[in-house]
Amino acid sequence: MDLATRPTPDGSAVELRIAGEFDLAQLPAFKSASSAVLRDGFSRVIVDLTDVSFLDSSGVGALLGLRRRCRDAGGDLVVQPSTVVRRVLEACEVEGHFGLTVGQTPSPQGVEA
């Protein structure tokens, strides 16, 4: 899994981009990056999963955990899913609770609580 973070141009949110497979083996790296984002003061997070080729419930649980932490800090989390990711989120019946975006990077307003 490749993982990178960068602030949005206006600095009001951070984009967390993941590529490759997202399962149990990648949780430590994801949790470390998530903690760093929150520690840096960001509570509005855009998780770009458009290049994720595999996701299971380990990854879904990690996304739910990050969403909870963002909301606790006054922000929220938006997910940009690949087809595979969307299928798993739908199968877990949580897609309706994530702000899912398609095709373009959401504006920071898109991650307001």
Partner 1 sequence: MSDDGARDEVILRVPAKADYVALVRVVLAAAAAIDPDSRDDRVDDLRVAVSEAVTNAVESHKAAGTDSHIEIRCLTHGHEVEVTVRDHGPGFDPDNVPTVPDPEDPQRMFFESGLGLPLMRKLVDKTDIQNCDDGTLVRLVIDTSLSPR
Cβ closest to partner 1, residue 16 vs residue 60:
60
Cβ closest to partner 1, residue 37 vs residue 63:
63
Which residues lie closer than 8 Å to 70 by C-beta, 6 or more apart?
38, 43, 44, 45, 76, 77
- Minimal distance, residue 54 CB to partner 1, in Å: 7
Using CB under 8 A as the criterion, which residues of the chain lie in contact with partner 1 when the complex forms?
21, 23-25, 27, 54-58, 60-62, 64-65, 67-68, 84, 87-88, 91-94, 96-97
- Minimal distance, residue 34 CB to partner 1, in Å: 13
Q: 67-98 in b/e burial notation, b at 16+ Cβ within 10 A?
A: bebbeeeebbbbbbbbeebbebbeeeebbeeb
